[in-house]
């Protein structure tokens, strides 16, 4: 079966996912496109999906009888309306992060999916599909004993001028929030944020770097350094300290050179390159599940928990290091 997919939001990642579906992955085809900027959909049609129909609105695309499943890759604030429409239409839906820009919005999606009675939504937390994190999880689950601490870092060389302090959580650390919860199979109970002295590349609206400390229900303490103007490269680190040993996320593959009296390998600089292979794996997983009329991988509940946790972390940016509690409602049976 070929899953007929409609893409809503044909900007950077929508275009790239359309390319994956039509040129890299199997079992699906892009048959419909929609974007508030029609020229963007027309460009994707011309370059990648010549047979696709262009719809004026995302809602019309979702309602089309020719569309089996939906990709929501528009701006974050518009995700909720399209995911809700896809659930109402009973169509599998892959939604890029964030699932919704508020915890209340994510909860509305959870409620709608629970009322529908079957999983339809996959959230684009692609790190769960990264070969390095998958290997790390296997090691944590089977070799190093129960986790006690996690030391993680998310470093970007630079960020755009409009990037402000809360975005370090909502846009950057959101990936650690999801992947570390999955890695430990545990839930967060509190968040604290510490600010060292601001680095010279910070500005009035961006306190950089920051350290977020998350505590889990089992008492594991996680520290995440977020340093978005670190200058030297795009660098993701994760080390889990267990009862019996320590496991670290592998470095991305890089050629090592011995040259000019130096032993060296490159560090990536563009975030797009770091998890590039995992986007293929996550979308292939979506296609497989969509062919059966359902969804797998990161679910709406994960998107909701990520939103609640992000809100707590942002609140903790304003409490001078005091802990902010993270309280989760009971998890519906659909997501057990």
Ligand X SMILES: NC(=O)c1ccc[n+]([C@@H]2O[C@H](COP(=O)([O-])OP(=O)(O)OC[C@H]3O[C@@H](n4cnc5c(N)ncnc54)[C@H](O)[C@@H]3O)[C@@H](O)[C@H]2O)c1
Q: For residue 140, how many C-alpha atoms fall within 13 Å in the half-sphere facing its CB?
A: 24
Extract the tokens encoding 317: 């940016």
Considering beta carbons, is residue 8 or 230 the nearer one to ligand X? 8
Considering beta carbons, is residue 148 or 276 the nearer one to ligand X? 276
Q: How far is the CB of 175 from ligand X (least distance, A)?
A: 7
Considering beta carbons, is residue 10 or 165 the nearer one to ligand X? 10
- Which residue's Cβ has the minimum distance to ligand X? 11
Considering beta carbons, is residue 74 or 210 the nearer one to ligand X? 74
**Burial (0-12, 13-18, 19+ Cβ within 10 Å), 76:** middle
Q: How far is the CB of 103 from ligand X (least distance, A)?
A: 16
Q: How far is the CB of 17 from ligand X (least distance, A)?
A: 9
Cα–Cα distance for residue pair 164/168, rounded to 1 Å: 7
Extract the tokens encoding 209: 């770097």
Cα–Cα distance for residue pair 212/13, rounded to 1 Å: 28
Considering beta carbons, is residue 108 or 192 the nearer one to ligand X? 108
Considering beta carbons, is residue 215 or 285 the nearer one to ligand X? 285
Q: How far is the CB of 25 from ligand X (least distance, A)?
A: 16
Q: Dump the DSSP string for 54-104.
A: EESSHHHHHH-TT-SEEEE-S-GGGHHHHHHHHHHTT--EEEPSPS-SSHH
Q: Dump the DSSP string for 108-136.
A: HHHHHHHHHTS--EEE--GGGG-HHHHHH
Cα–Cα distance for residue pair 228/32, rounded to 1 Å: 36
Backbone angles phi, psi at 232, to 5 degrees: -80, -20
Residue 149, SS3? Answer: strand
Considering beta carbons, is residue 169 or 247 the nearer one to ligand X? 169
Cα–Cα distance for residue pair 69/28, rounded to 1 Å: 10
Q: How far is the CB of 327 from ligand X (least distance, A)?
A: 26
Considering beta carbons, is residue 129 or 220 the nearer one to ligand X? 129
Q: How far is the CB of 195 from ligand X (least distance, A)?
A: 24
Backbone angles phi, psi at 133, to 5 degrees: -65, -35
Q: How far is the CB of 192 from ligand X (least distance, A)?
A: 25
Binding site for ligand X (CB under 6 A): 8-14, 34-37, 40, 58, 73-76, 78, 96-97, 124, 126
Among 87, 51, 189, CA closest to 33: 51
Q: How far is the CB of 215 from ligand X (least distance, A)?
A: 26
Backbone angles phi, psi at 209, to 5 degrees: -85, 180
């Amino acid at each position: 079966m070929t899953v007929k997919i409609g893409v809503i939001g044909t900007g950077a990642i929508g275009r790239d996912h359309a390319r994956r579906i039509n040129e890299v992955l199997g079992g699906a085809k892009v048959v419909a496109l929609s974007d508030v900027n029609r020229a963007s959909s027309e460009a994707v049609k011309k370059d990648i999906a010549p047979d696709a129909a262009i719809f004026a609105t995302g809602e019309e695309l979702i309602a089309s009888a020719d569309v089996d499943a939906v990709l929501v890759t528009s701006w974050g604030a518009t995700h909720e309306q399209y995911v809700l429409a896809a659930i109402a239409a009973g169509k599998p839906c892959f939604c890029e992060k964030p699932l919704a820009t508020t915890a209340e919005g994510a909860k509305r999606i959870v409620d709608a999916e629970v009322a529908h009675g079957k999983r339809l939504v996959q959230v684009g937390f692609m790190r769960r599909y990264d070969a390095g994190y998958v290997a790390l999880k296997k090691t944590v689950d089977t070799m190093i004993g129960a986790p006690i601490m996690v030391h993680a870092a998310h470093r970007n060389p630079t960020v755009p001028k409009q990037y402000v302090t809360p975005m370090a959580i909502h846009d950057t650390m959101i990936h650690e929030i999801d992947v570390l919860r999955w890695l430990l199979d545990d839930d967060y109970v509190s968040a604290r944020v510490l600010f060292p002295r601001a680095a010279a590349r910070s500005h009035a609206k961006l306190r950089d770097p920051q350290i977020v400390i998350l505590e889990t229900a089992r008492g594991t303490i996680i520290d995440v350094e977020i340093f978005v103007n670190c200058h030297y490269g795009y660098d993701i680190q994760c080390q889990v300290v267990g009862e019996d040993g320590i496991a670290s996320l592998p470095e991305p593959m890089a050629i090592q050179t011995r040259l000019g009296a130096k032993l060296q390998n490159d560090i990536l600089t563009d975030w797009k390159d770091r998890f590039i292979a995992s986007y293929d794996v996550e979308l292939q997983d979506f296609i497989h599940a969509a062919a059966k009329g359902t969804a797998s991988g990161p679910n709406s509940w994960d998107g909701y928990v990520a939103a609640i946790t992000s809100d707590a972390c942002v609140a903790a940016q304003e409490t001078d290091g005091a802990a902010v509690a993270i309280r989760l409602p009971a998890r519906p049976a659909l997501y057990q």
